[in-house]
Chain A
Amino acid sequence: NAGVTQTPKFQVLKTGQSMTLQCAQDMNHEYMSWYRQDPGMGLRLIHYSVGAGITDQGEVPNGYNVSRSTTEDFPLRLLSAAPSQTSVYFCASSYSLAGGNTIYFGEGSWLTVV
């Protein structure tokens, strides 16, 4: 049972480069989201989606784009990487947006911007 799968696991980027973090879930979940985890900050929501073709901004959206063309996939794009985007990124999904639905996280993508 795969759950939420993220790739790549590790990535080093140079300032100004762009890249896409891939995320796929096989649980037929409506709700998908991207978080970043920084020391002392917990997890902060970047973008989320409540279904194919529907996305919206979270708490820290600047510098990131998302799209949702299928139920399964929710890629996160860094447009022009900056050192401040060095972080661990988690993709997550849940059955629905409603609070109380368990959020399932992927294993994370470690990104370093030099």
Chain B
Amino acid sequence: QQQVKQSPQSLIVQKGGISIINCAYENTAFDYFPWYQQFPGKGPALLIAIRPDVSEKKEGRFTISFNKSAKQFSLHIMDSQPGDSATYFCAATAYNNNDMRFGAGTRLTVKP
């Protein structure tokens, strides 16, 4: 069963809008939560990551919000641009990289 559930499966946003992708996890031992960005024909690349000792992390237009009690975390993309159109994966791991569990992915399309 999928240990990290991601929604929505696809998302269409107008240029300048806010894109929000949500993830929920079950394993309370998870302590590292990265987001990966994947462009068509390319491999995933680390976008931003958070640990549960903080509730929010911001890097430029990208923000992770983390709710430990609800076991949920989300990616917010402010002022979304057509160049942000990609597939986004959330992930979580407890102890080491071979325990990393990925969400199913969200295909984001930003319309100009």
Contacts and interface: CB of A to CB of B under 8 A. Distances in A.
Interface residues of A, number: 27
Residues of A contacting B: mostly: strand
A33 B41 contact: no
Contact of B42 (A42, A97, A107): A107
A107 B41 contact: yes
Is the interface on chain B under 10, 10 to 19, 20 to 34, or 35 or more residues? 20 to 34
B25 interface: no
B44 A33 contact: no
Interface in B75-98: 89, 91, 93-98
A43 B99 CA distance: 12
A103 B104 contact: no
Contacts of A31: 97
A33 B98 contact: yes
Contacts of B31: 99
A48 B96 CA distance: 12
B1 to A, nearest CB: 12
Contact of B100 (A41, A90, A103, A107): A103
B102 A99 contact: no
A108 interface: yes
B67 to A, nearest CB: 20
28 contacts: A4-B43, A33-B97, A33-B98, A40-B9, A40-B104, A42-B4, A42-B91, A42-B103, A42-B104, A43-B102, A45-B98, A90-B43, A94-B97, A97-B98, A99-B94, A99-B97, A100-B49, A100-B51, A101-B97, A103-B46, A103-B97, A104-B46, A105-B43, A105-B45, A107-B41, A107-B43, A108-B41, A108-B43
Interface of A: 4, 31, 33, 40-45, 48, 56, 58, 90, 92, 94, 97-108
Given A42-B105, A103-B97, 8 more contacts: A42-B6, A42-B89, A45-B98, A90-B44, A99-B94, A105-B43, A106-B43, A107-B42
